[in-house]
Structure 1
């Protein structure tokens, strides 16, 4: 399951995500930061395990990038004036 949200909003900046099995990876477009969550053990998404599971994070990020290319997803322009 893939998500693509290339917009600014009061609660988030542009982000993409993939859900695969127990895992959910978020990739923030402004700074290329990722967050990885194990939804089986952390359904509230409170503990980012990307640094503890780098192989899983890399694999999911690659899947997300392939999907965005396949569907020709519109990528956002960074808005330097956006303030949370």
Structure 2
């Protein structure tokens, strides 16, 4: 699929760049949660995929799909969107 969108399988490793937002927890739980949630919400990648299909931009579509894949793996592993009080307090704790 990555070749069809103008990419290379190695681009899948770029999906892990989203985890760099965890550095925000070094500042505070509130900043860390805000950065993590910004990158791990499905709204941005869905918008990228939609724009990529609309304007025939394979790279944009690929970026959105990689982000969605990363988010899906995080949810599967039990990492949900964060509350600002603690890293382990997520929307999946309900």
Q: Same fold (TM over 0.5)?
A: no
Structure 1 or 2: more strand by fraction: 1
TM-score (norm 2): 0.33
Structure 1 or 2: more helix by fraction: 2
